[in-house]
């Protein structure tokens, strides 16, 4: 791998991992109740759980360029 700015082969990689949790959504539960009644309250549970995103950043050790 080469730096696109200076052409150096002296490259380091950093891996960033972000994690966040989504809880029960009262707004979704309200809309679900209005549209579907009591079973619609379960709509508030939609999209709950953990989400993990990973991103790799390469850094040139000679010029400091991140890509």
Give residue-wise pLDDT tens across range 4-62: 999 999 999 999 888 766 666 677 777 777 888 877 776 666 656 667 888 899 999 99
User: What is the number of structural domains in the chain?
Assistant: 1
In a domain, 33, yes or no: yes
In a domain, 5, yes or no: no
C-alpha pair distances (Å), 56 with each of 8, 13, 18, 49, 63: 19, 7, 12, 24, 18
In a domain, 51, yes or no: yes
pTM check: above 0.85: no
3-class DSSP assignment, residue 55: strand
Residue with more model confidence, 24 or 66 = 66
In a domain, 6, yes or no: no
The dihedrals phi and psi of 57, each to the nearest 5 degrees, come to -115, 130
């Amino acid at each position: 791998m080469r730096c696109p700015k200076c052409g150096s082969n002296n490259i380091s990689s950093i891996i960033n991992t972000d994690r966040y949790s989504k809880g029960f959504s009262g707004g979704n539960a309200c809309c679900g109740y209005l549209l579907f009644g009591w079973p619609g309250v379960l709509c508030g549970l939609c999209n709950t759980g953990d989400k993990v995103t990973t991103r790799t950043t390469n850094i040139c050790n000679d010029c400091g360029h991140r890509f």
